[in-house]
């Protein structure tokens, strides 16, 4: 063996060994009127290429801050954030965020929204149109390619945002409570389709949600964040087969365990933020069996 020589197969193995994403001792402070605020502290995470990670945690625990650090929109105050072993220096087309409020352009049609990033990247008109149609087909929206954004339902807008992100072909998709404003039925359908798209495109996905069952349905791994300062409190590796449905009985065991961790954190935050006389309502059922008889109406 020539010293220092690495064969192509060794290079491939080395690449495999490097995580897609590493966060090492990440901390982030914000400077507020009342002084320095420690938003996240000592976040350590390794994500494999193609892994689907879900993050749950109480409001204000730093979930969006962590996504912004991965997206390169925020700089950490301490620690290292690496993609493929290389430090994140700023935003890049290899990492894209899909926000809850989507940021679609209302003055552009559906297909022009999907083409937007490709246009910025200097992709030719013909290729832009072909790629837009390919991803609109993936999210089942080709019939609406020439529609205006305001003509679409919330679920359809989410599909456009997903197609727009996929068209750029990022390695890592960062999804910040994307389905939070949707009705349960639309969300169920999108859960199934997102799993299909994930399998077809092999993206690495980091998905923030406040819905424990959604996290259990989608994630290979679910991280529960603690707050003040934000940090990873617990991780759950989900071994359930796919495709998964949010009502699958096998998921309920995980959802219960995740919820127990999360509930303790949410209660801690409520105790810190609310009046001293605040208590959780646990013992007394809101509706007793007898109460369900609402009368015949006569």
Nearer to ligand ADP, 33 or 284 (CB): 33
Distance CA 230, CA 23 (A): 14
What CA–CA distance (Å, rounded) separates 59 from 65? 12
Enumerate the β-bridge partners of residue 86: 83
Closest approach, Cβ 274 to ligand ADP, in A, equals 16
Which C-beta is closer to Mg ion: that of 38 or that of 147?
Answer: 38
* Backbone φ and ψ of 86, nearest 5°: -110, 135
Nearer to Mg ion, 178 or 219 (CB): 178
Query: Rounded to whole angstroms, how far apart are CA atoms 223 and 212?
Result: 11
The least CB distance from residue 201 to Mg ion, in Å, is 25
Between residues 32 and 146, which has the closer beta carbon with respect to ligand ADP? 32
CA-to-CA separations, 170 to 87, 93, 108, 142, 173, in angstroms, rounded: 17, 6, 22, 22, 7
Minimum separation from the CB atom of position 186 to ligand ADP (A): 23
Q: Where are the beta strands (DSSP E) in 50-203?
A: 52-56, 78-83, 86-87, 95-99, 172-176
With 0-12 CB in 10 A as exposed, 13-18 as middle and 19+ as buried, what is 134?
Answer: middle
Segment near Mg ion (CB under 5 A); pick from 58-66, 136-144, 216-224, 261-269? 58-66
> Which of 195, 153, 151 has the alpha carbon at shortest distance from 173?
195
Under rule CB under 6 A, which residues in 40-69 are in contact with ligand ADP?
57, 59-65
> Taking CB under 6 A as the criterion, which residues in 222-281 touch ligand ADP?
none
With CB cut-offs between 5 and 8 Å by kind, which of Mg ion, ligand ADP, none does residue 61 bind? ligand ADP
Out of 22, 27, 64, 145, the only residue in the binding site for Mg ion (CB under 5 A) is 64
> Which one of Mg ion, ligand ADP, none interacts with residue 30, CB within 5 to 8 A by kind?
ligand ADP
Q: Under rule CB under 5 A, how many of the chain's residues touch Mg ion? A: 1
CB count within 10 Å of CB 234 equals: 17
Whole-number minimum distance, CB 76 to Mg ion, in Å? 17
The answer to whether the beta carbons of residues 119 and 166 sit under 8 Å apart is no
CB-CB contact of 258 with 236 (8 Å): yes
Does 145 sit near Mg ion (CB under 5 A)? no
Choose which of 10, 14, 37, 270 interacts with ligand ADP (CB under 6 A).
37
Q: Does 39 bind ligand ADP (CB under 6 A)?
A: yes
Residues binding Mg ion (CB under 5 A):
64
Residues binding ligand ADP (CB under 6 A):
30, 32, 37, 39, 57, 59-65
């Amino acid at each position: 063996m020539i010293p220092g020589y690495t064969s192509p197969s060794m290079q491939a193995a080395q690449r495999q060994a490097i995580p897609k994403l590493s966060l090492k001792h990440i901390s982030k402070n914000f400077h507020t009127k009342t002084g320095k605020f420690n938003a996240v502290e000592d976040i350590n995470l390794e994500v494999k290429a193609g892994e689907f990670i879900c993050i749950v945690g109480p409001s204000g625990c730093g979930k969006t801050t962590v996504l912004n650090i991965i997206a390169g929109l925020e700089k950490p105050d301490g620690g290292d954030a690496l993609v493929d072993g290389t430090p994140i220096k700023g935003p890049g087309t290899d990492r894209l965020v899909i926000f809850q409020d989507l940021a679609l352009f209302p003055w552009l049609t559906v297909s022009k929204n999907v083409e937007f990033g490709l246009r910025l990247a200097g992709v030719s008109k013909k290729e832009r149109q072909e790629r837009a149609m390919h991803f609109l087909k993936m999210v089942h929206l080709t019939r609406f390619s020439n529609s205006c954004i305001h003509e679409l339902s919330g679920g359809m807008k989410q599909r456009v945002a997903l197609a727009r992100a996929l068209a750029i072909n990022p390695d890592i998709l960062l999804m910040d409570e994307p389905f939070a404003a949707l009705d349960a039925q639309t969300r169920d359908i999108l859960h199934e389709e997102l799993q299909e798209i994930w399998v077809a495109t092999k993206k690495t996905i980091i998905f923030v949600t406040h819905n424990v069952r959604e996290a259990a349905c989608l994630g290979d791994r679910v991280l529960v964040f603690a707050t003040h300062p934000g940090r990873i409190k617990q991780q759950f590796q989900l071994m359930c087969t796919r495709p998964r449905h949010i009502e699958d009985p096998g998921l309920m065991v995980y959802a219960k365990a995740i919820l127990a961790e999360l509930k303790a954190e949410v209660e801690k935050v409520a105790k810190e933020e609310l009046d001293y006389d605040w208590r959780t309502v646990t013992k007394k059922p809101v509706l007793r069996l007898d109460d369900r008889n609402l009368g015949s109406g006569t």
